[in-house]
Amino acid sequence: MSFLRQSRWNPYAVGAAIGVLSWAVFALVDKPLGVTTALTGLAGACAAPFVGADTVAANAYFKQHVFKADYGLLFLGGIALGALLSA
């Protein structure tokens, strides 16, 4: 596991690994790997106490994309944790 502690990784190898990971996730859960929907859903959930849940629920985007805790939310947590650990 010493390769995990390298100061700099080969960007081509990392890009290829992310591509393979993306294919594997799509094959397993039939959804693309991404965090955009989870991030906007989390933003709406965080905004609800400030602007009111009715205001968030009345928004056209949040009517179509209801916030749910799925793998995207776990992925966001992993991004934050990975950034913290690598800093």
Instruction: State the average pLDDT over residues 9-18.
Output: 90
Q: What is the pLDDT of residue 4?
A: 67
Distance linking the first and last C-alpha atoms of the chain? 18
Asked whether 72 and 43 are in contact (CB, 8 A), the reply is: no
The string of pLDDT tens digits covering residues 21-48 is: 889 988 998 888 888 888 988 898 899 9
Q: What is the pLDDT of residue 1?
A: 63
Q: Decide if pLDDT at 56 tops 80.
A: yes
Mean of pLDDT over the chain: 87
State how far the Cα of 70 lies from the Cα of 58, in Å rounded to an integer: 23
> And the tokens for 52?
């009111």
